[in-house]
Structure 1
Amino acid sequence: MKTVTLALSFLFVSLVAMAQEKNGATITVTIDNVTSNEGKVLAGLHTAETFMKGPGIQNTESAIENGKVVLTFTNVAPGTYAIMAMHDANDNKRMDYQANGMPMESYGMSGNDMTMGPPQFNSAQFEVGVQDLSFTIRF
């Protein structure tokens, strides 16, 4: 009887573990115009509070293959977000700038707004609900 009870307990625990509910949306980002395979592409998922102020609420990075990367953010709660990405060509984990303040490394954001001046959250924002999302960001 103990063996049957133990077997049923293991079965129940494994079924519960496999049936865990998804806690949020998955966001897949493709960048296919990276200028070289050197370094990595870094990306951050931001709220209005974190945008242009440091790390995002989720951060990821990827090696570059043939000028392309695919990045994924998982379990994203419903809300308003923006994604910023940069090509960290020298793999120093930060954006490098020229003497005049212009970025030396390629970057892009959701919304693909390429106006002059610093990126704005309003230009890059998007809504996350329960559906998974896919974006293509251009550098």
Structure 2
Amino acid sequence: MKNLFFILLVFLASQYTASQEKEDIMLQIEVNVTKYDKGKIYLALYDDEEHYMKKTYMSSSEEVEDHKVTIIFKGLKKGEYAFSLFHDVNSNGKLDNNFFGIPKEPYGFSNHQKGRFGPPKFDKVKFTVKENTHQKVTIK
């Protein structure tokens, strides 16, 4: 009987801890598009440096309307995040590159960073989410 009580107590404590770790934070990302008022914005959200530009934590795509897009992610935990995005102007579902692999369509990263010879480092694009957060970025 003592063992059953102990197991039940451990189970309840773990459920309480799990519910405390899960947050319901919302991240709203507003993308202003200056050049083209068509196509879609594809956005990838990363939740740590290890997965940055390798494995997306969450992603979304939205049609450009009136030169802007708003993307909302819900159910986030407190922590550091970063995002990358591109504007699929011709609506072919991919980022078009030239012969040298340089993007031909507009792209961007959190904190208005641009890469030089590749994407910017995680330290340059990361931002902290502690509560509902609103980020803005402009791409040309």
2-structure distance, mates of 1:34, 1:92: 20
Identical amino acids, percent of aligned pairs: 25
Which secondary structure does the structure 2 equivalent of 1:111 belong to?
Answer: helix
2-structure distance, mates of 1:128, 1:83: 13
Q: What is the TM-score when the length of structure 2 is the normalising length?
A: 0.75
2-structure distance, mates of 1:69, 1:90: 16
Which secondary structure does the structure 2 equivalent of 1:137 belong to?
Answer: strand
Q: CA deviation at 1:50?
A: 2.5
Higher percent of residues as strand: 2
Which secondary structure does the structure 2 equivalent of 1:114 belong to?
Answer: coil
Q: 5+ unaligned residues in a row in structure 2: which ranges?
A: 1-21
| Matching of residue 60 in structure 1 with residue 63 in structure 2 | no
What CA deviation, in whole Å up to 9, does each residue of 1:101-124 have, x standing for no partner? Answer: 210111111111135232221110
Query: Which residue is equivalent to 2:29?
Result: 29
| Matching of residue 118 in structure 1 with residue 118 in structure 2 | yes
Q: Number of matched residues?
A: 117
2-structure distance, mates of 1:34, 1:87: 11
Query: Which residue is equivalent to 2:12?
Result: none
Matches within 5 A, 1:1-139: 23-47=23-47, 48-54=49-55, 56-119=56-119, 120-129=121-130, 131-139=131-139
What CA deviation, in whole Å up to 9, does each residue of 1:35-55 have, x standing for no partner? Answer: 21322001111132332225x
Which secondary structure does the structure 2 equivalent of 1:70 belong to?
Answer: strand
Which secondary structure does the structure 1 equivalent of 2:123 belong to?
Answer: helix
What CA deviation, in whole Å up to 9, does each residue of 1:26-73 have, x standing for no partner? Answer: 11111112421322001111132332225x211111111121111111
Query: Which residue is equivalent to 1:14?
Result: none
Q: Which residue identity lines up with residue 124 of structure 2 in the other structure?
A: S
Which secondary structure does the structure 1 equivalent of 2:95 belong to?
Answer: coil
Contact 1:24 1:78 in 2 (8 A): no
Q: What is the TM-score when the length of structure 1 is the normalising length?
A: 0.75
Give the RMSD, CA atoms, in angstroms: 1.9
2-structure distance, mates of 1:34, 1:89: 12
Query: Which residue is equivalent to 1:17?
Result: none
Instruction: Give structure 1 regions of 4+ aligned residues with deviation exceeding 6 angstroms.
Output: none
Q: Which residue identity lines up with residue 96 of structure 1 in the other structure?
A: D
Higher percent of residues as helix: 2
